[in-house]
Chain A
């Protein structure tokens, strides 16, 4: 295979994800409504209850809406990553996954193309959300939007690869939905998405320690710093390493020799 074949292949996978994204308008709308509800309703209610001190990357006192916006961008990536992986389980049940897996391209390459496509689509949704959030007083510096793009891709890759790995472990759609509830909500609530970690530490040291082990915390912090045109090196490193681990696990999960899929398939 020559290099142009790989480019054609990547374009094909990206276009397919885009076509599906455009066709599934309800999915796009629900992906926006969810964080907007948090921003408009939840944040309004909690604004008075939660005082936010000056913490990096913010240089002054901020409103609660401003604080939770990166976390809500994170939840867009988290939900989209998981939902796209859910579509892998659907594809597997419906049979269209076979078309992908019987391609002559290396399977790792195919899965990475899929993950990048998912991350790019998540990034589009995140920017649309930020545009709406701007009208609710969330006004980061313009250059922050540019800084954000690589952070969105990295965090999107990490969360999509986690979803892809989980999808390789489950046999049926019903199981996947159950597992997602045990992944999405703990990841979201046990992170710095909704409240600063020092607040969590004040409340409960154990929960704080769990938050420190949660890779989603670092994804949110990477996004938060990037949105204000700075880099959180610790978050960058942890998100980078976690992405590599999850991608490796997802690729192994879809390998017929090492993965569970082959072992779990049924006779016929």
Chain B
């Protein structure tokens, strides 16, 4: 028992681990809750694109600031909101299919970001941080910003719960109820951008989409109503964050990757074992009622 407590407590003797853990928890929960809408509305690709589109903004801030960490958050936030509004505008016009348009733009933005960062001297280390996160380098100031903006996103999810529910389940109903559908569409995209920005340091651009969709997808297999799905998703996000960080500490693997691997493993378990809807449950039902 004492050994177990020691196992849990020992990493917490490093302040950077404590800050990392708090950051990962905050990000894990916010991503998982907003992620339920990403899963239900099929916005995974869009979330991925948004994350990649932020890179050039971060790169410009990085070059101008000479590597200073402080202003980077605001550069990322500005780029993220502009990218969200831009993607929203693209998805309304019909000349090129939406996913094609998003693909073209986000690959281009990513390339621009990489090109800009590559002009700096310590390019490979910094690029790796942007792509895969650097949760152990989180400063107290970053934690405050993450907390404030994360709380704001969750507040909006809660306040407009019934509107987002109607809009996601039946857009025609939302239109006939005269809800401001376009406003809510853009609002959701901006919330997504803010969430991506606060998660950037924890998991990085490349693994962002996993934080958004994996806990939500797992929760969808395990629950029957949206409030329960959000709660279970948040739990899975938190668990993945904590277990992932300990895994990264003891197994000495990259922390963002460890968090995502834990979340993926939990999804795999649910996919196989979920009561009623998992692979195993369906096999059992099939054996009891063989198809004719």
Q: Are the chains A and B members of one assembly?
A: no
